[in-house]
Amino acid sequence: MNTPSPTVRPTIRSTVACVIQQGEHFLMVEEDKGGAHTLFNQPAGHVELGEGPVAAIQREVQEETAWQVTLTGYLGLYVFHTPEGETFHSHGFTGVPEQPLTTAIDPAIVATHWLTRDEIVALAAAQRLRSPLVLKRIDDALNHRHFPLSVIQE
């Protein structure tokens, strides 16, 4: 007798990321993910239980960069599927830096950097970006492809 296999439920994760621009530079975090090289990303992270995307990105930016930022727009929802079968629903934001904070950054962050788009493209060519969404979000921000924050109903 054959027993039916259990239903495999896909893993869907809700995340946030923020393109923070000052002049020609973007605030990036350098993360140690245990590989041969560190990886670069926008300040980003998971939406926690009971949190909405706006609160989550404000928290993540402060934890990962020790910067206070003002959110200026919503880039939209980016859907990313990993080879391992996970799906990420990533809310993209834009923001401007207001002031550095005196708080410590998350221990998973090696350093923060202000990088130009060309420097980020070079990191992409060296496969040192956390995901292909990093450069996509920057290009969307540079092309003013964003929406008012009011489109998010929390």
- Please write the tens of the pLDDT for every residue from 34-76: 778 899 999 999 999 999 999 999 999 999 999 999 999 999 9
- Please write the tens of the pLDDT for every residue from 80-111: 998 888 899 999 999 999 999 999 999 999 99
Structural domains present in the chain: 11-144 (3.90.79.10)
Tokens 């207001």 locate to 98
Residue 7 pLDDT > 70, yes or no? no
Residue 143 pLDDT > 70, yes or no? yes
Whole-angstrom CA distances from 57 to 7, 46, 100, 122 are 33, 9, 16, 26
pTM here? 0.90
